[in-house]
Amino acid sequence: MNALTILLSWLALASALTGAQIDVRSFEGLDASKVGNARFDVDPNGAVGTKQYLEWVNSAFQGYDKKTFAPVYAAPVSGDAPFVRNGVLQCSGSEGDGVILFDRLASRWVIGRRVGKNSFHYCIAVSSTDDLKARSFAWRTYQLDLDPLLGRNSQGHIFVPDYPKIATWPDGYYVSLNLTDPDKFYREVGVLVCAFDRTNMLANAAARTPQCFHYPATPGALFPGHSLLPADIDGNNAPPPGEAEAFVSIENPESGSVSRALNWWTLHIDWAAPAQSKFGGPVSVQVNAYTPACYAEKNPADTACVPEPSSNTTHSFLDSVGDRLMQRLAYRRFLNPAERESYLVAQTVQIGNGERSRTGIRWYEFGSGGHVAASGTIDGGDSNHRFMPSMAQDKTGNAAVGYSVSGASLHPSIRASHVQLPGGSPTELNILAGGGDQQGSSHWGDYTSMTVDPVDDCTVWYVNQYYDRNQTGKGVDWRTRIANFKLLTCH
């Protein structure tokens, strides 16, 4: 679909909130036909900036005008391009695992991605301006050789870095990666966290050496607390001066099927005296009991149980990615009417009884220090499975969660719910009804992305994947949809 035929749908959907109408606007994002060597691990995510929305899928990106939704570039841009243009050839290879940020405090775009198959690098591109169409626009690029930091297993093989996430904090760009063992079916055996020198990267200066930490100190055994999410700033209020970056992760059950905790971590960086930097945690945070989505006690690594209409015939199910929290850990500092800090995150959990039963969305709000301020579950009250969430909140405390929904009689579709924190009930919005199933792979998404418009600090933007017809065989023909809406209580 070209720029002249962008599909724009205006959906006036009834809201239980004050009886008002919420306009959900959505348009077509990237699809597999526009991306070279498209794969099933779509990695759909993006961020909204001051003038454009920037979307990432798999190994390419595209910008869109916020008002007209017209694409910024004539064709999707390879994720390699910002690095190759700057001669950073270690960061080429068309690998996926990219994450797009809009650095609210600096009004700049950021791309973070892991590259490599036998030798690995983490690569960051920072824009020179907030306007993707400006003549002066350029990417400033940086890379970290990961190989010396990853460690090796007992066979002498390097641990493979996976599922990288990046976030903005005033003193750094913070990155987390899982360490996986290639000789044990790539099971998670630890994590690596790093802080990059945001100050000098924004100034287009030489960046100080990234500071990195392992957990555990000697990776090797199965690590149930994997996939740390770093806190990423929403709004215009920076955290209190000197506050350490926070990370949160799930605590997968090691016996039985129920967990009652998440993990809270902190990383304090001292750029002047790196020996004083400290990675702290995990601190166990008690939450309402949950069973990770699609959890099977005899095979906890298999998290695929989400049905599609074709599942009865194909016996193929979608992966809920229920063994981890889903990006982002969205941070916001409120100053009025009283100062407080809020961290939001969501995961996919089992709903009801019975192994591999229906899935729903559990969300959490943490206050400063990691205490649980509020939590809830989005069930839907029907027979469908909800999964792959991403969460953020506007400047008035309205939280929005976007996710996929699928069932025995419902093709994978895109929906969102909104809730007034701390104790409101969720109201669900339909964003797009899918037109087909993914029958060639259980791999779905990996993650999605909900972000908040920096201009009005009210409008939330969400991107996710879908199919407009059944996908069969080895062909890859997914599509993505970008949506935005604003609650009328936010002004």
pLDDT digits (tens, 9 = 90+) for 421-479: 887 889 999 999 999 999 989 999 999 999 999 999 999 999 999 999 999 877 899 99
* 307-312: long-range contacts, CB 8 A cutoff, minimum separation 24: 307/385, 307/406, 307/407, 307/408, 308/406, 308/407, 308/408, 308/411, 308/412, 308/437, 308/438, 308/439, 309/407, 309/408, 309/409, 309/410, 309/411, 309/437, 310/437, 310/439, 310/470, 311/408, 311/437, 312/408
CA atoms of 347 and 98, how far apart (whole Å): 20
Distance CA 367, CA 280 (A): 18
Chain centroid to CA 401 = 12
Q: What is the pTM of this model?
A: 0.95
Q: Name residues whose C-beta falls within 8 Å of residue 66's C-beta, 6 or more positions apart in sequence.
A: 48, 51, 52, 53, 453
Q: Would you kindly state where each structural domain of the chain is located, as residue ranges?
A: 3-485
What is the side-by-side strand order in the sheet with 211-215? 160-169, 172-181, 187-196, 211-215
Q: Which two tokens stand for residue 283?
A: 């601190």
Residues of 109-147 as b/e, b for ≥16 C-beta within 10 angstroms?
A: bbbbbbbbeeebbbbbbbbebbbbeeeeebbbbbbbebe
pLDDT in single tens digits along all 491 residues of the chain: 443 333 333 333 333 333 347 999 999 999 999 998 899 999 999 999 999 999 999 899 999 999 999 999 999 999 999 999 999 999 998 677 999 999 999 999 999 999 998 899 999 999 999 999 999 999 999 999 999 999 999 999 999 999 999 999 999 999 999 999 999 999 999 999 999 999 999 999 999 999 999 999 999 999 999 999 999 999 999 999 999 999 999 999 988 899 999 999 999 999 999 999 999 999 999 999 999 999 998 888 899 999 999 999 999 999 999 999 999 999 999 999 899 999 999 999 999 888 889 999 999 999 999 999 999 999 999 999 999 999 999 999 999 999 999 999 999 999 999 998 887 889 999 999 999 999 989 999 999 999 999 999 999 999 999 999 999 877 899 999 999 999 888 98
Q: Is the peptide bond before 216 cis (omega within 30 degrees of 0)?
A: yes
Which residue is it, tokens 């916001």? 332
Nearest alpha-carbon partner for 364 in 282, 290, 254 = 290
Cα atoms in the 13 Å half-sphere on the side-chain side of 59: 18
Class in CATH terms, 3-485 = mainly beta
